[in-house]
């Protein structure tokens, strides 16, 4: 099975599993902040490719990719998660932050630019308004699962990618062009920054 197909399988399995739980937690079209449709339109206007979510039109997840037919192993995939409003996003950010700290058994600074991992195989998160962004690439997504040629069943190949913490210290996180595109839309719509978050200050960390 090709890298592209495995990457799509990994993305579909991850987003399909989490979509139900996040929708139940109050995610989707945002009355205070960007809607899923507005987020999609913004990234399309920036020149990115955002395939339609035909299987679940109400999904809060948007898969955002570099445009063009030539997608190699390093081709980027960003997922935007659109929360109901900024308060819901802040609560989700804090909850994910605390889960990651509990998993690691140590405290980490609370950051909008390098939040906890939200999806297996993806980077640390970036939070703007009511939207969270995480990034991966086709090579990473394609390495997460293997498919049995006889049974056509998929199984996890890299269990370490399912350990959600704050990402590898040397990972690039979400590239600036994706973040800048989202920020332009939030500024245009005067979306307030997420509130109700409790920062964790670490000794020796520059603030």
Domain extent listing, the chain? 3-188
Please give the mean pLDDT across all residues of the chain: 80
Confidence bin at 171 (pLDDT 50/70/90): confident
CB 109 within 8 A of CB 205: yes
Cα 161 from Cα 67, distance rounded (Å): 26
On the question of pLDDT at 22 being above 70, the answer is: no
Q: Which pLDDT score is estimated for 24?
A: 37
Cα 116 from Cα 167, distance rounded (Å): 7
Q: What is the pLDDT of residues 75-90, one digit of tens each?
A: 899 999 999 999 999 9
Q: Which pLDDT score is estimated for 85?
A: 94
On the question of pLDDT at 26 being above 90, the answer is: no
Share of the chain above pLDDT 90, in %: 51
Q: Which pLDDT score is estimated for 82?
A: 96
CB 117 within 8 A of CB 167: yes
Q: What is the pTM of this model?
A: 0.75
The owner of tokens 């062009």 is 177
Cα 6 from Cα 118, distance rounded (Å): 20
122-137 average pLDDT score = 96
Confidence bin at 135 (pLDDT 50/70/90): very high
Contacts of 123 (CB under 8 A, 6+ apart): 117, 134, 135, 136, 167, 171, 172, 173, 174
């Amino acid at each position: 099975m090709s890298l592209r197909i495995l990457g799509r399988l990994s993305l579909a399995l991850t987003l399909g599993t989490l979509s139900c739980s996040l929708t139940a937690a109050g995610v989707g079209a945002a009355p205070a902040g960007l809607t899923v449709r507005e987020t999609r339109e913004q990234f399309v206007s920036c020149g990115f490719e955002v395939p339609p979510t035909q299987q679940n039109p109400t999904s809060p997840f948007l898969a955002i990719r570099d445009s063009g037919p030539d997608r190699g192993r390093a081709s980027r995939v960003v997922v935007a998660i659109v929360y109901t409003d900024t308060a819901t996003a802040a609560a989700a950010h804090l909850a994910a932050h605390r889960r990651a700290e509990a998993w690691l058994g140590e405290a980490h600074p609370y950051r909008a630019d390098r939040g906890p991992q939200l999806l297996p195989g993806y980077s640390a998160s970036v939070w703007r308004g009511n939207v969270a962004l995480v990034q991966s690439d086709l090579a990473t997504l394609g390495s997460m699962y293997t498919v049995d040629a006889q049974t056509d069943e998929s199984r996890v190949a890299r269990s370490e990618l399912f350990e959600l913490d704050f990402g590898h210290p040397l990972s690039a996180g979400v590239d600036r062009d994706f973040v800048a595109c989202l920020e332009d839309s939030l500024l245009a719509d005067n979306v307030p920054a997420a509130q109700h978050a409790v920062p964790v200050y670490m000794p020796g960390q520059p603030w």
